[in-house]
Amino acid sequence: MIKKYVFGTPFVTDSVVADIPADKSALPYFSITSSSPLVLELELSEEDAIYGLGESVRGINKRGFIYKTYCSDDPNHTETTASLYGAHNFIIIEQGERMFGAFFDVPSVITYDVASTYKDKLIITSDNTDMNIFIIDGSSAYDIVRTFRKAIGTSYIPPMWAFGYTQSRWSYATADSVRNVVKNYRGNNIPLDAVYMDIDYMERYKDFTVDSEAFGDLSEFAKEMKEQGIRLVPIIDAGVKIEEGYNVYEEGVKNGYFCTDEEGKPFEACVWPGMTHFPDFLNPEARLWFGEKYKILTDMGIEGFWNDMNEPAIFHTRRGMDKAQEKIKEYSTGEFTIDRLNELKDLFGGLQNSQEDYNSFYHNTPQGRFRHNDLHNLYGYNMTRSAAEELEKTDPNKRYLLFSRASCIGMHRYSGIWTGDNHAWWSHILAELKVMPGLNMCGFLYSGADIGGFNFDCSRDLLLRWLSLGIFTPLMRNHAACGTRNQECYQYENTEDFRHIIELRYRLIPYLYSEYMKAALSGDMYFKPLAFEYPDDKVARHTEDQLLIGNEIMIAPVYTQNAIGRYVYLPEDMTAVRMSCGELTFEDMKSGHHFVEIPENEIVFFIRCGKAIPLCKSAQNTDSLNRDDLELIGTGNEYELYTDDGISKDYNNPSNIRTIRK
């Protein structure tokens, strides 16, 4: 049961697709303690839990911090980072015996004080008082999620090749450097499905151009790669370079497709290409126009994209820079004290993604002209929607890989997300594990973190351990920042250790893909917290470093350095599956606490009692997997397999589901 309560005149975000009439009765559960700003409060007791909030830091149970939902380009993902790239305003509240969900449909920032200031209170604050609030009742967390997901529409479904292992780096700047990556993966027999092209493939960072000196004819190169079973996935940035003669810039200016400043002139901000304009993705015509540009690349044989810098990220604007330079001039005489140094540091640091800038440009929408900050969280969502709507037109029956950095609920129908610029830190393996269920609650199923960590150098043991979580995430991508050490698997000794782990991923694809498709088509979760599956088991409820993947398996990856294994809690009897040197062995284990030894080149995961999962043989890429040659493992006798051609959109064909038996 889902009900909608309307406050003021909300902006139509298209986050919810179901037609839900406004309920005229008072908002249930919450007390409204202020109407401007809008402040909602809820009493909690110690055992009550709050779940959700999608891409955010800290635990699966969100208690104990003040979160903000404001799409932010912040590469410091620490315990005290209030907002990350996505703004996902859905929570599930477990309050004593009752459980309900709440979705705050508003495109600007909201603050959630989740039992942080007061241990017994959830306080939600929004300066924007025009908002739809949806309240969802249900018998369980899963039930609430299903009802919510039905209202927001089916999650994005990628092509099956997007479940393969993929390699990225900022940047493989020439065709030869990509060839070299492929040669090394193939040469070491490590499966690989795609290589990403980061910003340097473009001509001076101009969207929809290709540096032909470095890549030659991209159509030819894409074809060459495809022959080796590799797809190329280029990045697209939000900002359009200001450059005379550049068609995207010229068309955008001519047609008024860019965001405007106070005076109505195209707004200027500096990002990778230098000074840019931001396409006004909230203007449907501009969205259509920008989307059509993706065809330039699909016509060259490109089948996937990643959209970046679409919070939108801003390095600086002329306004900010002028102000900072004034200060430097002022301080060029007199004593240069530490206070002055700190002031300048803050001033220059604050040029990036500044609130003053976000408040100084405008969108021209069918609902009127709006200040950017009032619609901020819709920007990346609508950039990605523009791409997805075009791809749908380009080939209506073909799936494309598409994922974005910034997001908002609603975008989950169009693409996946990756979790942005993490670090080569052990704690970021655990952070990834904990963020995934919340993303699923909010509709984002196709996701994954940069394996090995984006910032800083990745050590061999970190990469191995990170892969042992990564083999279960739908998006499995190794990515690293410029300036960091080379992080491809073959850069480390004993490459066979990496090969064995990635081969296990490919063996699991029939299972992972089935579970993904079932979750997408029925509004279920792919990553499930133990608390949702075993709500009456107190220990399970509080175990946040293990997850269920689909309906059959549980994972408990190692996320600390120099560990020989870890403690694992089994809420029920399970079969431990151990991959060692490419061989699988099985051990039936009783429910309860165990210390499980897991050397860094081995993988252990668990199959639940009475259940079975299919495995195929590994192959060099997903297209060459033999998905008919399946072996069932586990104590169960059958498994419901979802299988299709992995590329067309005939998802609901009943012949896609079949029961396979031992």
Contact residues: ligand MIG, CB under 6 A:
170, 198-199, 235, 308-309, 405, 420-421, 479
For residues 337 and 427, give the distance between their C-alpha atoms in angstroms, rounded to a whole number: 37
Residue 167 CB, shortest distance to ligand MIG, in Å, is 13
Which one, 235 or 554, has the nearer CB to ligand MIG? 235
Identity of the residue, 283 or 473, whose beta carbon is nearer to ligand MIG in the bound complex: 473
Minimum separation from the CB atom of position 235 to ligand MIG (A): 6
433 contacts: CB under 8 Å, gap ≥ 6: 469, 545, 547, 557, 559
CA dihedral (244, 248, 253, 254) positive or negative: positive
The CA-to-CA distance between both ends of the chain, in Å, stands at: 40
CB–CB of 237/207 below 8 Å? yes
CA distance 637 to 659: 10
Least spacing, CB of residue 111 vs ligand MIG, in Å = 25
In the complex, what is the shortest distance from the CB of residue 489 to ligand MIG, in angstroms, rounded to a whole number?
19
Question: Please, what is the minimum distance in Å from the beta carbon of residue 197 to ligand MIG?
Answer: 10
Q: Kindly state the smallest distance separating residue 488's Cβ from ligand MIG, in Å.
A: 15
Give min distance, CB of 547 to ligand MIG, in A. Answer: 24
Q: Which is nearer to ligand MIG, 389 or 450 (CB)?
A: 450
Smallest CA-to-CA distance from 277 within 259, 255, 256 is with 259
Q: Please identify, using beta-carbon distances, which residue of 149 and 405 lies nearer to ligand MIG.
A: 405
The verdict on whether omega for the bond into residue 25 sits within 30 degrees of 0, i.e. cis, is: no
By beta-carbon proximity to ligand MIG, the closer residue of 71 and 102 is 71
User: Which is closer to ligand MIG, CB of 328 or CB of 482?
Assistant: 482
Smallest distance from ligand MIG to CB 198, Å:
5
Angle between helices 284-298 and 379-394 (to 10 degrees): 50
Which DSSP state fits 120? T
Give the Cα-Cα-Cα angle 161, 467, 532 (nearest 5 degrees): 85
Nearer to ligand MIG, 169 or 541 (CB): 169
Q: Which residues, at least 6 apart from 626, have a Cβ–Cβ distance to it below 8 Å?
A: 616, 617, 619
Which residue of the chain is nearest ligand MIG when measured via CB? 170
- Which one, 412 or 479, has the nearer CB to ligand MIG? 479
CB of 600 to ligand MIG, least distance (A): 26
Q: Whole-number minimum distance, CB 313 to ligand MIG, in Å?
A: 7
| Alpha carbon distances (Å) from 142 to 87, 480, 607, 626 | 21, 35, 20, 33
Report in angstroms how near the CB of residue 420 gets to ligand MIG at its nearest. Answer: 5
Alpha helices (H) in 131-259, listed in sequence order: 141-152, 175-187, 212-215, 218-227, 247-255
- Give buried/exposed letters for 569-581 (b at 16+ CB in 10 A, else e): bbbbebbbbbbee
Q: Which is nearer to ligand MIG, 349 or 396 (CB)?
A: 349
| Closest to ligand MIG by CB, 10 or 420 | 420
Find out whether 195 and 161 touch, Cβ atoms under 8 Å. Answer: no
* Residue 41: partners with Cβ closer than 8 Å, 6 or more residues away: 30, 31, 33, 121, 122, 123, 124
Enter the tokens of residue 438.
Answer: 């919340």
Minimum separation from the CB atom of position 517 to ligand MIG (A): 27
Q: How far is the CB of 168 from ligand MIG (least distance, A)?
A: 7
Q: Is 265 helix (H, G, I), strand (E, B) or coil?
A: coil
CA distance 547 to 567: 14
Residue 414, both tokens: 């169009």
CA distance 568 to 609: 16
Considering the complex, state which of residue 13 and residue 478 has its C-beta at the smaller distance from ligand MIG: 478
Residue 405 CB contacts under 8 Å (≥ 6 apart), including other chains: 73, 85, 306, 307, 308, 309, 310, 311, 380, 417, 418, 420
Closest CB to ligand MIG among residues 62, 479: 479
Closer residue to ligand MIG, CB minimum distance, 49 or 309 = 309
In contact, 305 and 297? CB cutoff 8 Å: yes
